[in-house]
Amino acid sequence: MEKNKTGKYMKYAIGEIILVMVGIMLALQVNNWNENRKDKIAEKDLLENMLESLKLDSISFNKNLQEAKSIDSLHRQLYSIGVIGIKDINLKNPNRIRRSLDFDPITKKNDPFVAEKIKNKKIRNEVISYFISLDRMDESYGILAEIIVKTLRPYLGKKEVLNLSAIFESDYQKSDGTLKTELITNENLESLSKVPEFQQILFESNLKLSDAEYYLKLAIKQNKKLKDIIQSELKDNY
């Protein structure tokens, strides 16, 4: 009788232990499910915010691309006038001879370590590739800015071709922020385009501009690829 009772107690105790273990496992699974769900929601919010930042980057990059093309067009006009000797060219936007390109992508600025927070490997890899393209673009922009700021602008000042009245006259800016008067006149720039020293600076400036434009186009391409992947993943997996 005592053996039977002991056996029943053992079976009961084992059953209780199994039930407790099953309960703990179920609780852990539910907890894990809740945590995964919270992580998924948080990652979805992160990706949606990144998508908006990428769209703003895209707008900025395309404006920069148009600016680069405008500067390149001016360079080519100056080459045609100063080197080839074409005379019937009306220079467009002579102020752009002093311009560089702005680098201000907000996606990386908002969170430079965002890739580490993304569990989706497909998206994470593309974010890393995008940030690498931004680094290359930043480097090329810096090289371009250096020759504009340290070489070209001082040279223009040394040659005394800058138009002081464009800055010091009252109300010299239009409502959109552009100048009413050119910083450097067409006549002065045309004359300068025939000077060998300026031609060498123009060569270097355009070479660095071409490099910056190349990496800018790569960044635009990578930006689009990343946006497409995020949109697809948000639709299918979040």
Q: Where are the beta strands (DSSP E) in the chain?
A: none
Give residue 27's pLDDT: 63
How far is 230 from 43, CA to CA, in rounded Å?
Answer: 11
Spatial CB neighbours of 78, under 8 Å, sequence gap ≥ 6 = 91, 97, 189, 190, 193, 202
Give residue 17's pLDDT: 75
Give residue 173's pLDDT: 58
Give residue 8's pLDDT: 63
The model's pLDDT over 64-118, given as tens digits with 9 standing for 90+, comes to 999 999 999 999 999 999 999 998 899 988 989 999 998 889 999 999 999 999 9
Average pLDDT value over all residues in the chain: 88
pLDDT at 13 over 70: no
Q: Which of 27-41, 77-91, 169-183, 207-221 has the lowest mean pLDDT?
A: 169-183
Give residue 152's pLDDT: 97
Spatial CB neighbours of 14, under 8 Å, sequence gap ≥ 6 = none
Q: Which residues of 166-185 are buried (b: 16+ CB within 10 A; e: fewer)?
A: beeeeeeeeeeeeeeebbbb
Give residue 113's pLDDT: 92
Beta bridge partners of 168: none
Structure tokens at 191: 């004359």
Structure tokens at 37: 């769900």
Place of tokens 């990428």: 54
219 closest CA partner among 126, 114, 121: 126
How far is 160 from 43, CA to CA, in rounded Å?
Answer: 57
Concatenating the DSSP letter of every residue in 183-219 gives SB-HHHHHHHTT-HHHHHHHHHHHHHHHHHHHHHHHH
pLDDT at 177 over 60: no
219 closest CA partner among 231, 227, 208: 227
Spell out the domain ranges in the chain.
Answer: 2-237
pLDDT band at 31 (very low <50, low <70, confident <90, very high): low
State the DSSP code for 128: H
